[in-house]
Amino acid sequence: MKSIILRFILAVVTFAFGVAIDRAVVSRRAAPAPAPAPILTNNLDPSCDTPAQVLSPPDAPDPILLFDFNLDKFDPNGSYFPLRPLPKEFGDVAGFDLAVDLDEGEVLGSAYVETRSNDGNDSPSAEFLLITERRVFFVTSACENTGFAYRFDGKFLANPASQMDKGKAVVRGTLSKMKNGRTVAECEASFKVEFVDC
């Protein structure tokens, strides 16, 4: 009887060891690398009547916009400016704009960061935008002239429409500056909201 129990325990331990080895070794194998993309060249052969076709880059994807608020009760529209000067790493940031509107029952919107540099002004738009009555979060595309992109994760302190042009903090959060997908600077900042007529 002891021999049968001992064999059973040995079989269970062997099975468990095999499963552990399988998970540790076999499951961690890297997926095969994707096939390299074909290299397109523009060979201009003088003996050829027409040059090779040059493919243009694909269009940028549409931004992802998420809204969860009642526009009749909460209005985030406006230009947001820092309540106090931002750190020198953000000396190029003048502020950001939020624009939201109803069009045939559908909520449409956008966000832009206003930047200024020696190379000129730029307004990278949000590729991802989330606005609720309590939160605003966006990530912009990269500036054409500097290559910097911006991320803001903030909380509304009040309904922006009720604090328009009062010079009080309306939203507070973390502003991040990124280049090539890496964060190069971060700061906590408070913003006031103003109506700017274009």
Q: How far apart are CA 138 and CA 130, in angstroms?
A: 6
Q: Which two tokens stand for residue 195?
A: 């109506």
Q: What is the pLDDT of residue 117?
A: 79
**Phi, psi (rounded to 5 degrees) for 68:** -140, 75
Q: What is the pLDDT of residue 44?
A: 43
Q: What is the pLDDT of residue 120?
A: 76
Q: What is the pLDDT of residue 180?
A: 93
Q: What is the pLDDT of residue 186?
A: 97
How long is the chain?
A: 198
User: Structural domain boundaries of the chain?
Assistant: 64-194
Q: How far apart are CA 165 and CA 193, in angstroms?
A: 6
Q: What is the pLDDT of residue 114?
A: 94
Residue 179's nearest CA partner among 136, 137, 150 is: 150
Residue 50's nearest CA partner among 58, 42, 38 is: 42
User: Which residues sit opposite 24 in a β-bridge?
Assistant: none
With the C-alpha atoms ordered 70, 127, 183, 86, is the resulting torsion angle positive or negative? negative
Q: What is the pLDDT of residue 60?
A: 62
| E strands in the chain | 64-68, 78-82, 93-103, 106-117, 120-122, 126-132, 135-140, 148-156, 171-179, 182-194
Q: Which two tokens stand for residue 99?
A: 């624009």
pLDDT, averaged per 10 consecutive residues of the chain (198 residues), comes to 65 60 52 50 45 48 89 94 96 95 86 86 94 96 92 97 94 96 96 82
